[in-house]
Each structure stands twice: as C-alpha cells, then as structure tokens.
Amino acid sequence: METLVAPRPATLSRLGAIDCDVHPDAPRRADLMPYLDDYWREMVTSRDVDLLELTSYPTRTPPFNRPDWQAGEGKGVDKLRRNLLDPFGLRCAVLNCVTGVHAIYDPYLAAALCCATNDWLATEWLDRDPRLRASLVVPLQNPQAAVEEIERRAGDKRFVQVLALAMGEMPLGRRFYWPIYEAAERHGFALGIHAGSTYRHAPSQSGFPSHLVEDHVHQSQGFAAQVVSLVAEGVLVKFPNMKVVLIESGVSWLPGLMWRMSKDWRGARIEIPWVKEPPAALIRKQIRMTAQPFDAPLDPAELERIIEHLDADDMLLFATDYPHRHFDGDAALPAGFPERLLDRFVGENALSTYPRLEVLP
Amino acid sequence: MGRHVVARVDEVDIGKSKLVKVAGRDIALFNVKGEFFAIANRCPHEGADLCKGQLVGLAESDEPGQYRMTRHGELVRCPWHGWEFDIRTGKSWCDPARTRVKSFDVSVANGGTVVEGPYQAEIFQVSIDEDYVVVEI
C-alpha cells in the first residue's frame, strides 16, 4: 500500500512564526492568591476554590498533552521556552488561559478570578519573556466588570484579545455582550473564541453525548452557532474593526456554513436587514481561525482545496496549540500548506488580526 | 420585437399580478400603485412562478434592531424561498449582478390606438373605449 507522505514544510524555526494558540499551565489557588484582595483570599480558601478546571476540558487527562513536552524539565516560562519558543523559533506566542473562570455562576467571584488571572499572566509569564502575548480573560457573566477589566488592561498591549468559549451561557451575538465588544473594539482587542463549554447546555445540539470523542467533534457545532449568531445579530456589522478568532475550531466546516448562510440569507435577509452583504463576505472579512488542529483530508494535496474553498488568504493563523498533541517534532505547519501563503499564515495574518500586537520586524 | 396587448387595465388591481403568455413566454404582469411592470415569470433559483409572489417593500436598516421600509410594493418576493426581485429591473436584491429575471417594457394604450396601431392583439377583442396593457417583447 502506498503511504501518503507530506511534503516537508519549510523549516519552521527559520520563519519567525507568530503562534496564536499556546496554553500556559492553568493557575491554581496558590498561584492566584497574591493577586486577590483579602476578601477573595478568604473566600477561595473557605470555599476551597482551587483547581479551576472546565468539565469540558479536564487538563490532567493524559491524551490531551504531548508526552515529550510534559516530561521536559522545569515549569512555567522556562519550560515553555525550552519546549516551544526556542526550538520553534517563534517571534511571539499568544497565551490562551482557558480555565473554569468562564463557567463560574457568581459574577463577582468570576470578576475577581479573571482579574487575578490576568495579573498572574502579566507577572509570571509576560514579564518573563518578551515574545509572549496573552488573551485577556474577562467575566462574560458580568459585562460591566468585563468592560472594567478591558479598560484596566488597555494600556498593556501585551494583551491582544478578549477570550470567550465556543459554548457558553448564550449565543455570543446577543446584545448582553455588546458592551464588551464596544470596549474591545475601541481598544483594538480581537475577540478570541476558544473551544470549550461551560456546560450550561448540552455540547451537542441534540442533547448530551455519551463519549469524549463526541464532545470533541461537537465543538465545531458550537463554533458554527457562534459564527451564525455574530453575523445574524449584527455584531460583525456593528463592530467592523473587531476581528473574531476561532481558536481550536478546526477549519474545514466553515466553507459549507458560509455557502449555506449566504444562500439562506437571500430569502430571509428581510428579517436581518442590517446584514447588507452575503454572510460569507462578512465572515471572510472578520472571522479568523487558528490552524491547529486542522481537520483536513488525509491526502496533503487536498489541503489547498479547502483553503480555496475559504476563498480568503488572510483567514488562517498559525498555531501549535501547545501543549496539546496534534503533531510530532516541529511539524506544526499543516501538511500540504501552500508555500505561496506561508508568509501570511505564519505572521502577516496575525498582525492584521491583532492591532495591539507589536512585534519587532 | 413587437408590442403585445396582454390585458385590460382593469383586470389587474393595484398590488396584484397576472400571468400572461406572450410570444411563447410566461410573463408576470404587476400593477404597482397603478403603474404596470412585467418580468419573466420563472424564478432563476428553482423556477417558481413569480406572478404568485407578494409585492413587498424594501426592508433596510442602518443599525441592528432598527428597521425602515422603503419602495413600498416595488419588489416581488418569490413564493418558494423568499428571494426578492426589483420589479423595475428584474434584478435580485441580494445578487443584482448575477441573479436577475428579464424585465420588459410595459405601457398603457387606449383601445382606439390599439386598433389602429402596430399592436398585436391576437387574443383580445379590443374595445375602443378601454385602456390596455401593452408589453414590448
């Protein structure tokens, strides 16, 4: 049997790539204590708030993490440098701290833990390596506090986007969230939507699945619902300068959604007359996707066809999804990725997605 | 090319339509506030009869949640999937460059003129006292 061998992509370490999805270790109570005030220190202690895991993403589950990265010595930034920043020759990396802060019901505890997490990110990570950037965690449960957190960090350009989850309390297009988008756009933040669920609803749109593999596959339903909501509710029209980055979304499901929504819009657009151009055009202008994992056909030669179906050269952002296992060695570029788009993919697209991202040339 | 008498003016009320056949073609005739328009009857999407579509206005918006209706009755919504066509040009509102139905010039002529002139009134018994809708094709 003939085996399909991916053409070896250009050596990553020479490209100076911008990695748009890197995960720091999730902070625990002891990490956040220095950044909480005395009231919240008492509360997280007496209520035993420690491991802020999302049910949808138990961080210690072995299959999630790449063994060689996990086994490496050191911790925190030192480990990240050794495993990723240095060997991959990254120009910079955006840290996405995906934790249970998004799922907390108490809107004030959520605000306190978001603020502490951002302080911790700034002090323990961003201050320690100039290549690092981060997504701001904000309490989406409490838009007023989320806006205050955005205002507080607006001067720190190392925070480049505001983080949300693919499956939360309600669709992200709802006006409830608009004050967050208004503040984000005003300060040049993108909106990052990361895979994950708060389990307010079943992760499948037909109810709860039985197996972990189903949870993973259903993520794309969650992302699809958010894209449709952001278009239909008018978020993309209302905040045209805010890019929306789908992180760990996969890629190949989007063209079908764009075709379908553009077609349905022709007959139903009277209901949403603020959408004045085909949804696919809006999506191409404002939606971006990180490209690990990349749900492509087995034959690398077909990957370019998926990119052609996106019909936009600036939608895909390079990412490793460190420390999760999608590839071995440094084969982080999806096999078969067209050479002609490489410069955009590893750098230019990220720079035009994140107006706050300042990097040395 | 010819001018075809297709209906008596009083056969099509304001806001209504009539399917007429001219030179082998199905044509949807509309009365918009007393003015007549004619477009090909077949929707370019799936082939529905546009003469059965409703005449609607154009819904516009400058801001999510704010609505404005203009051009009352000047668009026809396809009865099957709701695609909107400009009754004046035949162009689809959503894709005017590529999706359109043919539109035809329409005029109203008095019966007296019709009897004398170069009109083709093969299916009509024209009376000189009435006005007729004339489609040019």
Q: What is the pLDDT of residues A284-340, one digit of tens each?
A: 999 999 999 998 888 998 999 999 999 999 999 999 999 998 888 889 999 899 999
Shortest CB distance from B81 goes to which of A175, A238, A267?
Answer: A267
Interface test with B, best of A270, A272, A276 (most B CBs within 10 A): A270
On the question of pLDDT at B94 being above 70, the answer is yes
Quick check: B67 and A238 CB within 8 A?
Answer: no
- The chain A residues in contact with chain B (CB within 8 A) are 175, 233-234, 237-238, 265-270, 272-274, 278
CA distances from A18 to A40, A94, A158, A178 (A): 36, 8, 13, 29
Contacts of B60 in chain A (CB under 8 A): 273
Residue B42 confidence (pLDDT) = 96
Quick check: A273 and B61 CB within 8 A?
Answer: yes
What is the length of chain B?
137
Of A263, A134, A268, A279, the closest CA to residue A194 belongs to A134
- The alpha-carbon gap from B59 to the nearest alpha carbon of chain A, in Å, equals 6
Contact by Cβ (8 Å): A77, A128: yes
Residue B2 confidence (pLDDT) = 81
Contacts of B57 in chain A (CB under 8 A): none
CA distance A328 to A69: 10
Q: Which structural domains are found in chain A, ordered by start?
A: 12-353 (3.20.20.140)
Residue A63 confidence (pLDDT) = 67
Residue B22 confidence (pLDDT) = 87
What is the length of chain A?
361
- What torsion, rounded to 10 degrees, do the Cα atoms A121, A124, A127, A133 define? -30
CA distances from A229 to A166, A242, A275, A284 (A): 12, 15, 12, 15
Domain covering B3-136, topology: Rieske Iron-sulfur Protein (2.102.10)
Contacts of A265 in chain B (CB under 8 A): 94
CA distance B132 to B7: 6
Residue A2 confidence (pLDDT) = 46
* Residues B101-129 pLDDT 10s: 999 999 998 877 776 666 665 555 666 67
Interface test with A, best of B61, B66, B85 (most A CBs within 10 A): B61
Domain assignments of chain B as residue spans, ordered by start:
3-136
To the nearest whole percent, how much of chain B has pLDDT over 70?
88
Quick check: A270 and B94 CB within 8 A?
Answer: no
* Structure tokens, A184: 């984000």
- Given a cut of 70, the residues of chain A with pLDDT beneath it are 1-10, 62-63, 361
Residue B111 confidence (pLDDT) = 79
- The alpha-carbon gap from B93 to the nearest alpha carbon of chain A, in Å, equals 8
Residue B117 confidence (pLDDT) = 62
Q: Which residue do the tokens 């984000």 mark?
A: A184
Contacts of A234 in chain B (CB under 8 A): 63-65
- Note the ipTM here: 0.86
> What's the pLDDT band for B130 if we cut at 50, 70, 90?
confident
pTM: 0.92
- The alpha-carbon gap from B4 to the nearest alpha carbon of chain A, in Å, equals 33
Quick check: B64 and A237 CB within 8 A?
Answer: yes
CA distance A206 to A217: 13
CA A42 to chain centre: 32
- The alpha-carbon gap from A274 to the nearest alpha carbon of chain B, in Å, equals 5
Count of A-B CB contacts under 8 Å: 42
CA distance A330 to A231: 36
CA distances from A53 to A59, A61, A98, A171, A290 (A): 7, 11, 9, 22, 23
Quick check: B83 and A266 CB within 8 A?
Answer: yes
> What's the pLDDT band for B23 if we cut at 50, 70, 90?
confident
- The alpha-carbon gap from B91 to the nearest alpha carbon of chain A, in Å, equals 13
* Structure tokens, A189: 């933040």
Tell me, yes or no, if B70 comes closer than 8 A to chain A by beta carbon. no
Residue A361 confidence (pLDDT) = 65
